[in-house]
Amino acid sequence: MKRILNTILVATTSLVLTNCTDDFDEFNTDPYGITDESLEQDGNNIGGFVNSMQPYIRTIDAGLQVEENLTGDAFSQFLVPPTPFVSNRNNVTYNFTWYDRQMSLKYNNIMAYMGRFEINNVDENYPDFYAWGLIHKVFAMHKVTDNYGPIMYSQYGSSTNFVPYDSQEQVYTQFFAELDQAVSTLADYADSEDFVQFDNSSFGGNVSQWIRAANSLRLRLAMRIVKVDPSLAQQEAEKAIANPYGVMESNEDNLRMSLLGNMHPLWMFSNSWQDTRMSATMESILGGYEDPRLPVYFQPATDEDVAGEFKGIRQGIEISSKNTYVNFSAIGTMFSSATDVKIMTASEVAFLRAEGALRGWNMGGSAEDFYAQGVQLSFDEFNTAGASDYLADATSTFADYTDPKNPENSFSGSSDVTIAWDDAASNELKLEKIITQKWISLFPNGQEAWSEFRRTGYPRLIPVVVNYSGGLIDTEEFVRRTPFPSEEYNIHNEGVQTGVELLGGPDNGGTRVWWDTGASNF
């Protein structure tokens, strides 16, 4: 009896007390995850993090749809959905429905990695990788501030529940400082091959090219603030040009990011989902100019009313059914086989220099030359011939647009501006030519085109027909920004209120951001 009792006691206690909790750590680690230790191999926690940021400067997956395709792409009037999302009351008709992802995708996929760099002191231990990361960060985050205005930036990561917003002016100041740091650091690593194994961009790890990209980005940002701080704009623009590594000048300098074997998101939206089509404005401008890039950008319509034509949809119209416009011009077949997405190109840089020269800045050439260069580079980029004939066209203007489904949406060409450079023309007209051509060449990066439209008013876009903003956005003034995410109001109300205050106006799509002064261009 006693023996039995003893056995029991031993058995019971041994079952629990002498148990090994040693295997608990292993058992409580997800067997299909990646530990930090394993990331240390091959520097996957340094270069691998920059590599991980690359697909999100311009999002390469489906997230792009609400982030840019239904916002910047529509507002720049590059691409318009045939789909009446949310009973047709959505961003495209000025009833903001999607305004969270423009922020969240960038914070989760760009800022989070840079935040990890701060935590791991990468700036001290691997300054070149840190500098490289900074370039990615500025490329991505300027889109966020251009969308919203004030954003969380300098105080990023300072607290778990309250991070005050910075004014857009402050953010731009930091952008320039970060580009300074990146460029000066990388100059010491110009011949390094450290980036090669991590770089999925068109640069293949070439540090000089990255410096050139940083300088080009500086030029883009400098021009953006020209109306609000002209002297800083000139100073930064000239700094970009003066840098020994210079700016992008040929299409080999273009920054493009690999799709990593995935389908181009715009092809997915256009071909798979049938949720994006050519805009009426594209039809009017490229059609009016008989632009040879039109058949590259888009496919002819298959709708029986307009079969074979390049037919676009006007932004912000009444759409009841997806069927009505879905067989208008879809996006060009070049996207079906695309292996990368475009971030920034030499043609954009040429147009920026053209504008700089027009403003009398030292851009290393004349506005006219850069203008022609921009067009030529864009033609080359899209493998189209005939740039010189095109540039000589002094008669073609924007064409009239007819909506075969609903004549109320038809409009006359919104501008008489022609292609050919006219040295005698006013600065304003010259600027219109430059920005109009830049708009064409930026395709399909609608986000940047929308920012430049807001800054300059060019090209002359077409106001929406239906405006569901409830009076918040003036149809004639166009949409000026994206409202702060509702998620911020829901879980970071105190923080977003600092942003609203810095915005200096009500938080809606009708309020202008800092660099968008609404004043004249000159």
Partner 1 sequence: MFKKIIFSFLLVMGLNQIAVAQSQTVSGTITEAETGMPLPGVTVMEKGTSNGTSTDFDGNFSLDVGDDATLVLSMIGYVTQEIPVTGGDINVEMATDTEALDEVVVTALGIKRESKALTYAAQTLGSDEVTQGKNVNFAQGLNGKVAGVEIRQGTAGAGSSTKIQLRGASNITSSNQPLFVIDGIPMANYQTSDASGFYGGRDSGDGLSNINPEDIESITVLRGANAAALYGSQGANGVILINTKQGEEGKTRINISSTTKFESVYDYPDLQFRYGATDEPGADSSWGAPGDYENHVDDFFDTGITLQNAISLSGGNNRTTTYFSYANTYATGTMPTNEFNKNNLTFKQTSKFFDDKLKVTSNVLLTDQKVDNKMLNGYYFNPLLGLYTFPRGLDFDEYANNYQVLDPQRNIMTQNWPILGNSEANMNPYWILNNTPNVERTKRFIGNASIEYTISDALTLSGRGSYDFTRQIYEQKAMAGSSPVVISDNGRYVYENVESWQAYADMILTYDQQFGEDWDFHGVLGGAYQKRIIGEGISVDSQTFGLYAPNIFNIQNITGLQAFSGAQRVNSRLIKQSAFANASLGYKDMLFLDLSARNDWASTLSFTENSSYLYPSAGLTFLPSEAFELPEFISFAKLRASFAQVANEVPAFRTNPINTAAYSQVGINMELPFTELNPEMQDSWEFGADFRFLDSRINFSATYYQIDTRDQFLPMDAILGTPYQVYYVNAGHVRNYGVEITLGADVFETEDFTWNTNFNFTHNDNEIIDLNETYNGQRNRIVGGGGEGYETFIVQGGSLGDIYVNAYLRDDSGNIIVSEDGVPVNATSTDGMKLVGNANPDFMLGWNNSISFKKINLSFLIDSRFGGKFVSQTEAYLDALGATETTAAARDAGGVQVDGVLNDGTPFSGVVDARDYFSGVGGRNGIKERYVYDATNIRLRQFTLGYNFGFEEDSFVKNLNVSLVGNNLFFFYNEAPTDPDFAISTGNGTQAVTNFGPPITRNFGLNLSANF
3-class DSSP assignment, residue 243: coil
* Nearest distance from C-beta of residue 516 to partner 1, angstroms: 20
d(CA 46, CA 54): 13
b/e burial code for range 425-458 (CB count within 10 A of at least 16 → b): eeeeebbbbbbbbbbbbbbbbbbbbbbbbbbbbb
Specify the residue, 231 or 320, whose C-beta has the smaller distance to partner 1.
Answer: 320
* Nearest distance from C-beta of residue 298 to partner 1, angstroms: 18
List 156, 181, 290, 391, residue binding partner 1 (CB under 8 A) = 156
d(CA 454, CA 451): 5
Please list the alpha-helical segments (H only) found in 120-264.
122-125, 127-148, 168-187, 207-224, 230-242
* Nearest distance from C-beta of residue 152 to partner 1, angstroms: 4
Count CB neighbours of 304 within 10 A: 8
* Phi, psi angles (nearest 5°) of residue 472: -80, -30
3-class DSSP assignment, residue 155: coil
Is residue 121 within the footprint of partner 1 (CB under 8 A)?
A: no
List 334, 494, 518, 522, residue binding partner 1 (CB under 8 A) = 494
Is residue 491 within the footprint of partner 1 (CB under 8 A)?
A: yes
* Phi, psi angles (nearest 5°) of residue 331: -70, 150
Is residue 511 within the footprint of partner 1 (CB under 8 A)?
A: no
* Nearest distance from C-beta of residue 32 to partner 1, angstroms: 5
* Nearest distance from C-beta of residue 196 to partner 1, angstroms: 18
Is residue 10 within the footprint of partner 1 (CB under 8 A)?
A: no
Specify the residue, 153 or 351, whose C-beta has the smaller distance to partner 1.
Answer: 153
Is residue 35 within the footprint of partner 1 (CB under 8 A)?
A: yes
Choose one: 154-162, 230-238, 362-370, 429-437; the region binding partner 1 (CB under 8 A): 154-162
* Nearest distance from C-beta of residue 167 to partner 1, angstroms: 15
Site for partner 1 in 308-327 (CB under 8 A): 320-324, 326
* Nearest distance from C-beta of residue 306 to partner 1, angstroms: 15
d(CA 50, CA 195): 9
d(CA 354, CA 183): 23
List 92, 111, 186, 449, residue binding partner 1 (CB under 8 A) = 111
Choose one: 7-15, 189-197, 227-235, 426-434; the region binding partner 1 (CB under 8 A): 7-15
Nearest in space to 236 (alpha carbons), one of 57, 361, 131, 350: 361
411 Cβ neighbours under 8 A, 6+ residues apart: 280, 284, 314, 400, 401, 462
Site for partner 1 in 79-108 (CB under 8 A): 83-89, 96-97, 103-104, 107-108
* Nearest distance from C-beta of residue 92 to partner 1, angstroms: 12
d(CA 217, CA 139): 7
Q: Which residue has the tokens 């489906």?
A: 62
Is residue 489 within the footprint of partner 1 (CB under 8 A)?
A: yes
Specify the residue, 109 or 315, whose C-beta has the smaller distance to partner 1.
Answer: 109
What's the 3-state SS for 451-511? HHHHHHCCCCCCCCCCCCCCCCCCHHHCCCCCCCCHHHHHHCHHHHHHHHHHHCCCCCCCC
Is residue 426 within the footprint of partner 1 (CB under 8 A)?
A: no
* Nearest distance from C-beta of residue 208 to partner 1, angstroms: 25
Count CB neighbours of 57 within 10 A: 24
Q: Which residue has the tokens 């410096």?
A: 211
d(CA 186, CA 129): 9
Specify the residue, 21 or 337, whose C-beta has the smaller distance to partner 1.
Answer: 21
List 113, 130, 210, 370, residue binding partner 1 (CB under 8 A) = 113
Site for partner 1 in 267-296 (CB under 8 A): 268, 271-275
Specify the residue, 192 or 486, whose C-beta has the smaller distance to partner 1.
Answer: 486
* Nearest distance from C-beta of residue 320 to partner 1, angstroms: 5
User: Is there a contact between 134 and 181 (Cβ–Cβ < 8 Å)?
Assistant: yes
Is residue 479 within the footprint of partner 1 (CB under 8 A)?
A: no
List 6, 42, 162, 518, residue binding partner 1 (CB under 8 A) = 162
* Nearest distance from C-beta of residue 493 to partner 1, angstroms: 6
d(CA 371, CA 275): 34
Site for partner 1 in 59-78 (CB under 8 A): 60-62
Site for partner 1 in 243-272 (CB under 8 A): 260-263, 268, 271-272
Is residue 43 within the footprint of partner 1 (CB under 8 A)?
A: no
List 6, 19, 125, 192, residue binding partner 1 (CB under 8 A) = 19
Is residue 519 within the footprint of partner 1 (CB under 8 A)?
A: no
Q: Tell me whether strands 79-80 and 277-278 are parallel, antiparallel or unpaired.
A: antiparallel
Is residue 395 within the footprint of partner 1 (CB under 8 A)?
A: no
Helix (H) or strand (E) holding 228: none
* Nearest distance from C-beta of residue 118 to partner 1, angstroms: 8
List 483, 503, 510, 516, residue binding partner 1 (CB under 8 A) = 483
Q: How far apart are the first and last CA of the chain?
A: 104
Choose one: 222-230, 352-360, 450-458, 465-473; the region binding partner 1 (CB under 8 A): 465-473
User: Is there a contact between 285 and 398 (Cβ–Cβ < 8 Å)?
Assistant: yes
User: Is there a contact between 224 and 146 (Cβ–Cβ < 8 Å)?
Assistant: yes
